[in-house]
Structure 1
Amino acid sequence: MIAYGWLGGMRSVAYTDTMQGIALLVGVFMLLIGTIVYFGGVPAAGDYMKTYSPENLGVPEGGGLIRWSNFLILVGIGAAVYPNAIQRIFSAKNERVLKRSFTQMAWMPFLTAGVVFFIGIMAYTAYPNLSVAESEQLVGIMASTIANQNIIFYIAMVLLFGGIIAAIVSTADSVLLTFSSIISKDIYGRYINPEASDKKKIHVGKIIGVIAVALLLIIAWNPPGTLYQIFVLKLEILVQVAPAIILGLYWERSHAKSVFTGMLIGAVVAAAFTFLGLTPLGIFSGVWGLMINLVIYVGGSFIFGTVPSKNEQLSLTNSEAAEPTRM
């Protein structure tokens, strides 16, 4: 990951995406085929659950509906502001290529994640009594079992896990690049050493990135919870930047200090509720933080924000038109 970030920069994001996308697509479909061949299809899994655990086929009620609604909000909004998704803009050759890639990305997650979802359903007949920790290893267990059947599935499973590793590297190096850029330009270059050259700023960002990776490796070696809990916590913090990015692009009255204050307080509330184990009314801490974030952002912008005059808008439009397009 460090090598990608040091040597490849933003272009490395596109390289890793291409490699892991091909490997994952081939590997996950081979895993699906192997699961159907050796463990039966979805109808067999449905009959098994209907007989031995019918509660798994029921429609969520009450608290279950609230949890699913919260989760859909976090994933739907949080995924839209993923750092590695936004960075695709800077890796695109031109606007046409960018639009075409986003068109494909719109439906691709339903295909890849949907396949894994069905694999999990079909695997229930083979491993019905797994604990929470064991269930997070289900894909690995299934892949290991299928890989031992013949050489074709063995090669496919090696390709699958190579793609998974590449996907992890791709996402992590995107976040690392963003974090390093924030440190080098927004903090070091603006407040600590405004006279520093671009080369020195980049060097500082890279060093801080290495330190951050070392700390994250320690946390990864001693994870604070299950993969699901870590995933939810990540989205609860990440979703707090959504109002700044989404509303900030279209709402002319947005007030910078209100945006930052809402984002900061929303993140603090989400983190505090999570570590204290608080879920008032069954609503996730990240959703509480997002609602408070929006109230501060919108309220502060209405009170302190101003709408640009027509002359200011015309001047801004002319200045943008005069600049050469850079991708």
Structure 2
Amino acid sequence: MQTMSDDVVLDGVGLALVFGYLASLLLIGWLANRARGAAGARDFYLAGSSLGLVSLFFTLYATQYSGNTLLAAPGKAYRTGFDGLAIMLAVMGVVLVYATFATRLNRLAQQHGFITVADFVQWRFHNPRLALLLNLVLIVTLCTFALGNFKAIGLLLESVSGGMIGFATAVLVLALIMGVYESLGGMRGVVWTDVLQGLLLLLGCLIIFYSVHATSGAQSVTHWPGAMAELQRYARNDLQPIHFLSLVVLIAVGAAVYPQALQRIYAARDASVLKRSYRLMFFMPLLTTLPMILVGMSVAEWLPALPEQDSERVIILAIQKVIGSWPAMSWLLILCLAAALAAIMSTIDSALLTLGSILTQDVLQRDEDGVHSLRRSRLTSWCLTLLLALLAIVLPQTIWALMVFKFELLIQVAPAIILGVRWRQLRGSAVLAGLVIGLCCAVGFKLWGTEPWGIHSGVWGLLANLLVLVLWQRWSRD
């Protein structure tokens, strides 16, 4: 039986190829800097709102699918089987949530020149306290999001290099690379790298799945009969409908109001391009998340007793089995690492760029001088990247718990955005009251450590948020 001690690691040639890929990102950032338009904040943070179908689709795809696709989703499938389907359905549900507000938000952003999420909130509700609280939620969410992914990328490189690259070195080198191409190209640089990273992620998921499918036995869940048999058993014996649906709602609504995703809605060239992009996005979980869930379940058949802390390395174990059967497939490990790095880096750079826009445009005094604004934006990007990389090195591993909590917080922002777009009579005071109660409820249930009827604390918070919002809107006379 294979064990964790037999892990395949990259040799010197493999590491050289991976760092060659990382160097190509610097070239993309330099080219994006040469292609930029006016030297202003809107061009830096939104690429001048000029994203077409291909670039918008790939940046939405690369932003939505983080390292969780290659690490957390297979690990969850290893531990709980088809529970991981909730993640796939939730990601498909994000597109349905987009359909309720995204095209109208894009038109408003084009008309009024929004750069940050708070720009829309302040324009719509004229309530500085609401904009401030919303920004605080987004800053906490983005920081924990970036910190957790920095940790993931450091641990991944340290693992596959066999310790040749230390955790701190990996984090600092990759932070340096991201800081350079992001500060050079802004969103345009991020989007161009997202196209490459999105392609790598998609190809990586499909090739890994096919390789495991070809290597595993005929009864494996990567084969259709095995998958259907496992799904029927799960639906009959293990499915917990309320908890399952609660997770779908939590992720679908929370991910739809990611601040970096909202900025990409702003950045779309027009509403028709945006609509075509997210229609394509609807089918991507079938080509990305589902294959990784099946691979995770297949590893559970080969190695049924892995410790929980090792379960998120099941993709490496799956590749190890493939290489053991077909030694010529050793290049698959390089592809897997490149795909994982692409997924994680595209998540971090998007979060850092959005966090920088909040700090420079909402927290600091906004400067209309294009050259000065660009210089300040680049300096902010460098400072944020360095600060969060250092924090990722020194903070304890409990930062992962904060990452899980981000959806519980993010979902409370949804009424301000979605209802703000669709409900013209909605007042800012009602949204603020609902946001405060929703946050208190979500945090309270989380600290209490209970989820009544299996419903996540963030969903309870959203229900309380909406109830207070409607009652305040109905009865308050402010």
Same fold (TM over 0.5): yes
Between 34-43 and 171-180, the greater mean CA deviation after superposition: 34-43
C-alpha change, 1:57 and 1:68, in structure 2 (3 Å) is: closer
How big is the shift at 1:203?
5.6
Q: TM-score, normalised by structure 1?
A: 0.76
In the alignment, structure 1 residue 140 sits paired with structure 2 residue 312: no
Look up the equivalent residue of 1:210 and give its one-letter code: T
C-alpha change, 1:125 and 1:205, in structure 2 (3 Å) is: same
- The structure, 1 or 2, with the larger RCO (C-alpha pairs under 8 Å, 6+ apart) is 2
Between 114-123 and 295-304, the greater mean CA deviation after superposition: 295-304
Does structure 2 retain, via aligned residues, the 8 Å contact 1:4–1:173? no
In the alignment, structure 1 residue 224 sits paired with structure 2 residue 401: no
The SS at the match of 1:69 is helix
The SS at the match of 1:84 is helix
How big is the shift at 1:59?
3.3
Partner of 1:280: 452
Does structure 2 retain, via aligned residues, the 8 Å contact 1:263–1:293? yes
How big is the shift at 1:74?
0.6
Give the gaps of 5 or more residues in structure 1: 307-327
How big is the shift at 1:93?
4.1
2:192 and 2:283 map into 1 onto residues whose CA distance is 21
Look up the equivalent residue of 1:15 and give its one-letter code: W
Alignment of 1:173-252 (within 5 A): 173-189=349-365, 198-199=373-374, 202=377, 205-206=380-381, 209-210=384-385, 212-214=387-389, 216-218=391-393, 222-224=396-398, 232-252=404-424
Partner of 1:17: 194
Listed one character per residue, the Cα deviations across residues 115-161 of structure 1 (whole Å, up to 9, x for unaligned) are 11111222222111223222222112212332454465322331232
Partner of 1:6: 183
Look up the equivalent residue of 1:176 and give its one-letter code: L
C-alpha change, 1:213 and 1:41, in structure 2 (3 Å) is: farther
Does structure 2 retain, via aligned residues, the 8 Å contact 1:254–1:305? no
Between 239-248 and 209-218, the greater mean CA deviation after superposition: 209-218
Partner of 2:149: none
Look up the equivalent residue of 2:179 and give its one-letter code: I
Listed one character per residue, the Cα deviations across residues 151-189 of structure 1 (whole Å, up to 9, x for unaligned) are 653223312321221121112222222222222221222
2:219 and 2:411 map into 1 onto residues whose CA distance is 34
Alignment of 1:1-327 (within 5 A): 1-41=178-218, 58-60=236-238, 64-150=240-326, 153-189=329-365, 198-199=373-374, 202=377, 205-206=380-381, 209-210=384-385, 212-214=387-389, 216-218=391-393, 222-224=396-398, 232-304=404-476
Number of equivalenced pairs: 297
1:235 and 1:273 map into 2 onto residues whose CA distance is 14
Listed one character per residue, the Cα deviations across residues 15-38 of structure 1 (whole Å, up to 9, x for unaligned) are 232112211222212211221222
**RMSD (Å) for aligned C-alpha atoms:** 3.5
2:243 and 2:397 map into 1 onto residues whose CA distance is 23
1:274 and 1:262 map into 2 onto residues whose CA distance is 18
Does structure 2 retain, via aligned residues, the 8 Å contact 1:32–1:115? yes
2:314 and 2:253 map into 1 onto residues whose CA distance is 27
How big is the shift at 1:71?
0.7
2:391 and 2:436 map into 1 onto residues whose CA distance is 22
Does structure 2 retain, via aligned residues, the 8 Å contact 1:189–1:195? no
1:57 and 1:140 map into 2 onto residues whose CA distance is 29
1:124 and 1:199 map into 2 onto residues whose CA distance is 50
Does structure 1 retain, via aligned residues, the 8 Å contact 2:183–2:382? no
1:201 and 1:261 map into 2 onto residues whose CA distance is 34
C-alpha change, 1:86 and 1:194, in structure 2 (3 Å) is: closer
Q: Which has the larger radius of gyration?
A: 1
Aligned-pair identity (%): 32
C-alpha change, 1:84 and 1:211, in structure 2 (3 Å) is: same
1:232 and 1:67 map into 2 onto residues whose CA distance is 16
The SS at the match of 1:189 is coil
Between 16-25 and 138-147, the greater mean CA deviation after superposition: 138-147
Q: TM-score, normalised by structure 2?
A: 0.54
Give the gaps of 5 or more residues in structure 2: 1-177
1:305 and 1:12 map into 2 onto residues whose CA distance is 48
